[in-house]
Amino acid sequence: MAGASSLEWVPARDRRSVERVEVVPGEEIRIRRDPGTRELVYTQVGRGEQITLNPLTYRYVAASARGRSPYGLPLFLAALFALDRKRQLSDSEQRVINLMARSALITASAPVPTPQQVGCRDENDPNYPAAVSAHFSRIADLITAGSANGLYLAPRFGDQPIEIEATPITQSVAGLSDITNSNQLRVWNALRTLPFLRGKMDSTTQALAQVVIPLVHAHAIHGQSVHAAVIAYGANLNLRLQGIPATAELKFAPPRSPYQLDEATALLRRAEAHTKLAALFGPAWAQAAMREFDVVDGDAARAPDWWNPTSGTPAPVPDPGEAP
């Protein structure tokens, strides 16, 4: 909700391990910079007194920020206006539905009551205007009491009839769906999602999906990186407290691509192009190929002994009794 992952890793009493983790509400965090050390100081401001959080056990990672501000921005911030408009559109749709159910405009003609009929002395009585207004309101309520069922009553006031006239109304909602759909697209766009992921399949093609699905994956990976940084920090704190000389990393399994054949074909064509360019330019093309496939000096020395792709030797089958 606050646009950041905020966790406090609580050590055990003997300080030999991490006992538990507490979620600190991000909206209760206040951040300032220490004038001496220039380090960020995190303070929790709740219902009680302010608590300065220990930088060794507390971790705050913002999903996104604005300018030099250290505070995280909620990912749904851009959707607030569109969501509020969606609420207004829903209310407007309900009003149109109610009007279509009534399907008529009612005009009523009623005589003005005398002061005595509404319990006043004369027309100069200060309560007379309010009494007349309340009288007409009661008549209107009586006429429209059965409007939900399409029934309108014509009451009588003493010996004077109240005339009503019903004018049929042809309601039309043309254009309303376009406005609603347009606003819904704004909501989905602000929430970093796409219409076809929500079940709206209009004008969706494979070519479009191949362009936009990587964008969705990129947003998901960004959110995963925020959580991974906080969880890995707690795991490494636990390792340090236990005296284990190791470093923990948290990685999420990447989503399986639905276009593996196309991607494999593209990779093959890139490899063929690099092969021809290497034959044309010789060793001068090595750096370009290494940048393309993220290869650095020293990678060859880290290859296993059995690796010999030029000979077509497959990887050895591990011994079932051998420890991994």
Both structure tokens of 294: 């993220």
Quick one: pLDDT at residue 237? 93
Q: Would you say the pTM of this structure is higher than 0.85?
A: no
Q: What pLDDT band is residue 324 in, cutting at 50, 70 and 90? A: very low
- Looking at residue 119, its pLDDT comes to 86
- Confirm if 52 and 43 have CB atoms less than 8 A apart: yes
Greatest alpha-carbon span in the chain? 115
* Boundaries of every domain in the chain: 4-75, 104-168, 266-314
Query: Higher confidence at residue 208 or residue 317?
Result: 208
What are the strands of the beta sheet with 51-52, ordered from one edge? 29-33, 40-44, 51-52
Helix (H) or strand (E) holding 193: none
Name 244's Cβ contacts closer than 8 Å, sequence gap at least 6. Answer: none
User: How far apart, in Å, do the first and last CA atoms of the chain sit?
Assistant: 43
- Report the C-alpha gap between 302 and 299 in whole angstroms: 5
Question: 109 vs 77, which has greater pLDDT?
Answer: 109
50 touches 43 (CB < 8 A): yes
Q: What tens digit of pLDDT does each residue of 7-29 get?
A: 999 999 998 999 999 998 888 88
